Amino acid sequence: MSIRLSDHFTYRKLLRFTLPSIAMMIFTSIYGVVDGYFVSNFAGKEPFAAVNLIMPFIMVVATVGFMFGTGGTALVSKTFGEGDPERANRYFSLFVYASFVLGVLFSVLGVVFLRPIARLLGAEGTLLDNCVIYGRIVIAAMPFFILQLLFQSFFVAAEKPNLGFWVIVAGGVANMIGDAVLVTLLPQELKLTGAAIATALGQLVGGGVPLIYFFRKNSSILRLGRTRFDGRALWKATTNGVSELVSSASMSIVGIVMNLQLLKYAGENGVAAYGVMMYVNMIFAAIFIGYSIGTAPVFGFHFGAQNGAELKNLLKKSLLLLLLGGVLMVAAAELLARPLALLFVGYDAELMLLTESGFRFFGLSFFFIGFAIFGSSFFTALNDGVTSAIISFLRTLVFELGAILLLPLLFGINGLWLSVVVAEFMATALSFLFMAVKRKKYGY
């Protein structure tokens, strides 16, 4: 029996509805981790550092997919809640087409200007060459990467979260098979190229398959078709989703600054250790991101239908689930610190020790990260893009960036690992403050 956006949600129904989105984000993160594993263990430490150095820039470019995905989903879901499916589908088509056009533009500019950008990020010599080799191939597939991020949200709004999960599985399998074949079998000087091709192939599947599905007649409530330019709708989606744009872009900027600090305090070993932590962080954070993606259209629908009682029910249950998830993840992080360090960088004793010790500090952030991610997504779903953007901006670009610059002066390299914990704690406190202040306005 299918679950509809208009349903009343128990804990069981809420978990059933969001589980495909959670699994989808976990799987997306896992095949990113597999990329890192193959590059680190087969291509070497320097190519692995190059991937981690250029990836924040790639994610900055791709954030337009998050923006139109989350912001557009909020508007489309609200429009369905208001009882106007035809207009909702016009909005959906507009957001998909606009995202693809921007993806093509960013792809061309990224390929042309990648070398000077990598140089600005601190790369030089062989590290610079490796950044360019990997980055140009991945950026060439950018239109489909943007669509992949966009459709992750819209599959939920289409009441097809299970289908969204299987599309991501297909893209992930394509990526992993590509890694297993190209990275292991190609000559040493081409292994990094093979990893980039595998990543691009996964993005092509992840963005191309949904495009075909929604263009054809399907059983979901969304379908791509004719639309018209609507600057007001684009602006509304942009302001709704700007928090996710700010969050993703800011996290990438933070990653760039973190890498520069790590090069200063620990050299390439620091960048490589941080790369391992970020791969693991992607999996842990993916659970909370997936939950937020899964619940956002439901919040948006009931907001459009002016159903305050269900908004309150959803919020209460969500906060309790996030609390439980945070406790479990901190425990898991502490238990897995050594095995994960051994898995990725066990070939280098000094690097493994740095990774393990850093991850024990870094892992404390998992108690808070779910609330911070959900807080921003919650206000996006309510079409309150300003509040959502404030949370995202302060969380990453202010709280974390400030901590990255200040804490190492007091605690050295450990201050860099603790910066994430401090930033997530402050963002959680800010999210709860906004939820309390705006409770009467939104009737939850």
Q: Is 8 exposed, middle or buried (0-12, 13-18, 19+ CB in 10 A)?
A: exposed
pLDDT, mean of residues 170-196: 88
State the Cα–Cα distance between residues 267 and 272, nearest whole angstrom. Answer: 9
**How far apart are alpha carbons 379 and 414 in whole angstroms?**
33
What pLDDT, in 10s, does the model give residues 264-294?
887 777 777 887 787 777 788 889 988 998 8
- Angle ∠(221,222,224) on CA atoms, nearest 5: 150
Q: Which of 101-115, 281-295, 424-438 has the lowest mean pLDDT?
A: 281-295
For 233-252, the pLDDT digits (tens) are 888 888 877 766 776 667 76
Q: How confident is the model at residue 412 (pLDDT cuts 50, 70, 90)?
A: confident
Query: What is the predicted pLDDT for the residue at 248?
Result: 67
What per-residue confidence (pLDDT) applies to 31?
Answer: 66
Section 28-43 average pLDDT: 76
What pLDDT, in 10s, does the model give residues 219-238? 888 899 889 898 888 888 88
**315/313 Cα distance (integer angstroms):** 6
Residue type, 11: Y
Write the pLDDT tens digit of every residue in 339-382: 878 877 777 778 888 888 888 888 899 999 999 999 988 998 88
| Mean pLDDT score, 21-29 | 80
- Range in 94-103, 134-143, 195-204, 234-243 with the lowest mean pLDDT: 234-243
pLDDT tens-digit profile of 39-70? 878 888 788 878 877 887 887 788 788 788 88
d(CA 140, CA 135): 8
At residue 428, the pLDDT reads 95
Residue 1 has pLDDT above 60, yes or no: no
* Model pLDDT, residue 384: 87
User: What would the DSSP string read from start to end of 103-123?
Assistant: HHHHHHHHHHHHHHHHHHTT-
Coil/strand/helix, residue 6: coil
Contact 152, 163 (CB under 8 A): no
pLDDT above 90: percentage of residues in the chain = 28
CA distance 55 to 272: 13
Name every residue whose Cβ is closer than 8 Å to that of residue 429 and which is 6 or more positions away in sequence.
none
Is the model's pLDDT at 218 over the cut of 90? no
This model's pTM is above 0.75: no
pLDDT attached to residue 92: 93
| Spatial contact of 35 and 299, defined as CB atoms under 8 Å apart | no
More confident residue, 314 or 120: 314
Q: What is the pLDDT of residue 107?
A: 93
Tell me the chain's radius of gyration from C-alpha atoms: 21
CA distance 168 to 150: 12
CB 309 within 8 A of CB 325: no
What is the arithmetic mean of pLDDT over 296-304? Answer: 86
Q: Residue 362's pLDDT is what?
A: 86
What pLDDT score does 355 carry? Answer: 84
**Residue position matching structure tokens 């990438």:** 252
* Percent with pLDDT over 70 in the chain: 97
**Is the per-residue pLDDT at 125 higher than 80?**
yes
Q: Which residue has the higher pLDDT, 137 or 293?
A: 137
Cα–Cα distances in angstroms (integers) from residue 91 to residues 17, 67, 88, 111, 411, in the given order: 24, 14, 5, 30, 50
Cβ pair 37, 343 in contact under 8 A: yes
For 225, the 3-state DSSP assignment is coil
